[in-house]
Amino acid sequence: MLNKRVYKRVIKSALGMVIAASWQVSAASCPQLANVPLPPKCTAADLGVCNAAVQNIIPSAACAIFEVSPAANDATLVLRFTTMITNSWFDATAPYHPTAKGVYSDIPQRPAPADNTELNIALSYASHKVLSGLFPHRAAEWDAMLAELGLDSSDLSEDLSSPIGIGNYSGRKVLEGRLNDGMNQLGNEGDQDYHRMPYADYTNFKPANSAYKLRFPSKWQPAVVMERPGVYRVQQFVTPQIALTTPYSYESTHEFRAPVPRKSKIWNRRDYVGQVDDVLDTSANLTDEQKMKAELFDMKIFSLGFAAIFASQSQGLSLMDFIHYDFLTNMAAFDTAIAVWKEKRRHNSVRPFSAVRYIYRDRPVTAWGGVGKGTVHDLPASQWTSYLPVADHPEYPSASASFCAAHAETSRLFLPQGDSLDYSVPAFAGSSQIEPGITPQADLMLHFPTWTDFEDDCGNSRVWAGVHFADSVPAGQNIGHQIANRAYQFYLTKVAGE
């Protein structure tokens, strides 16, 4: 059994911080982080040695992101937020690097800092600017975030000879640079002058199928999902406009294409049925480890975000190197999302839940029977559902597989130890979010020896969870790998001052 002392040691390793003085986010304000041990906050007294990005900014920003996306799996929005925040760190600290230039700012180089003080001040003010623009209704929290560091949120100086001015200027430039990038942050795209709807689709995407009738068995069908007992909604394709959003590291999404998912075409009926049978077989044989890995990778902040923090700490990255690494991984995943969403729209491919119900109708199948039911043999196919809730977008290619591949590939390119990771995440008995108190039956340790293991388990977890067909995984990974290499080259040009 994994006792609490061992658990704390594991989390300490994962975050690379001493937990003894850890702080907790209140369950009322941020329930997703309420039981997560977090590192001690930086204060004015230790700005020279701490990492305000990890210790102060990330926990505060995560709470705001969870408010917008409670399950934090609306990946396009999450990635846009995290990329803009980490971009502001990169731009704010670029003047303190020997050669680097910001993405949206070109500030003259400053003398090399003696410690982390100027870096922490600059990145904190930059974060304040970006977070205030993304989440203006939480302005008081962003002011308090600076106050915790002994910094004055009312200081709006843009004096480029001081870290405060550099931070304010860099944050403003990143915010302005991304304000009209195609994601419709202001809700004004499509000549929407009144009653604006931020991040709404302006491309007029319409699904081929309704939630109630599958007229085209090869095409995506929106699901009916429960928001709370008695309140249900029909899914909408989340942010299809990201396919038109400006990427960082390449010119055109048309460079990146996934092959036609032929097994998902109803005219290829033998393979179509074979895919359905594979989904049912996987569902019937789900293990506790597969369930817990599926849940871990469904939460991108806890999987991708925490793995990056662990890797940076375990491999001894400086604050400057951590900022470069975190921006690189987020930027690569964001650019991957742009291309993958273009392909999702192009293929508009059917999800497993629709295909299972279409092929077997009301006939009984053997599969996971729902919370606490285990594997059952008399489940009407019309009632089959995946272990994880199905995401609000077409099936192919797998977005999660592509993000994890981009994240892993940039990590291999950037980190001193390459593919080596040795990352472990504890899963206590009964800690499942899907089957609380039931799964796993005993304490587990989810271990990822390498980044290759990490990205493979991430992609496969979507198949285990029943939300993707198997061919969707390598299709997503291939795009993620390609764009990761583009992102790394873009990063190198910025570090070189080009």
Q: Taken in order 152, 157, 162, 166, is the CA torsion positive or negative?
A: positive
For residue 435, which amino acid is it? E
Q: Is 310 exposed, middle or buried (0-12, 13-18, 19+ CB in 10 A)?
A: buried
pLDDT in the model for residue 383: 97
Q: How far apart are CA 205 and CA 220, in angstroms?
A: 12
In the 8-state DSSP scheme, what is residue 98? S
Q: How far apart are CA 491 and CA 485, in angstroms?
A: 10
pLDDT in the model for residue 18: 25
Q: pLDDT tens track of the chain, all 498 residues?
A: 334 343 333 333 333 322 222 333 443 457 666 666 677 899 999 999 999 999 999 999 988 888 876 654 578 999 999 999 999 999 999 999 999 999 999 999 999 999 999 999 999 999 999 999 999 999 999 999 999 999 999 999 999 999 999 999 999 999 999 999 999 999 999 888 899 999 999 999 999 999 999 999 999 999 999 988 999 999 999 999 999 999 999 999 999 999 999 999 999 999 999 999 999 999 999 999 999 999 999 988 889 999 999 999 999 999 999 999 999 999 999 999 999 999 999 999 999 999 999 999 999 999 999 999 999 999 999 999 999 999 999 999 999 999 999 999 999 999 999 999 999 999 999 999 999 999 999 999 999 999 999 999 999 999 999 999 999 999 999 999 999 999 999 999 999 998
Counting Cα atoms < 13 Å in the Cβ hemisphere of 291 gives 29
pTM of the model: 0.92
Q: How far apart are CA 169 and CA 157, in angstroms?
A: 8
pLDDT in the model for residue 70: 61
Which residues have CB under 8 Å from 55's CB, separation 6+? 17, 38, 39, 40, 41, 42
Mean pLDDT for the chain overall: 92
Secondary structure (DSSP) of 23-81? ----TTT-GGGTT---PPPP-GGGTTTS-HIIIIIHHHHHHHHHHHSTTS--HHHHHHH
Which residues have CB under 8 Å from 418's CB, separation 6+? 412
Q: Is 50 exposed, middle or buried (0-12, 13-18, 19+ CB in 10 A)?
A: buried
Q: How far apart are CA 330 and CA 309, in angstroms?
A: 12
Q: How far apart are CA 323 and CA 54, in angstroms?
A: 10
pLDDT in the model for residue 5: 40
Rounded to 5°, angle at Cα 34 from 33 and 38: 65
Helix (H/G/I), strand (E/B), else coil: 164: helix
pLDDT in the model for residue 257: 97
Rounded to 5°, angle at Cα 36 from 31 and 42: 105
pLDDT in the model for residue 74: 79
pLDDT in the model for residue 67: 81
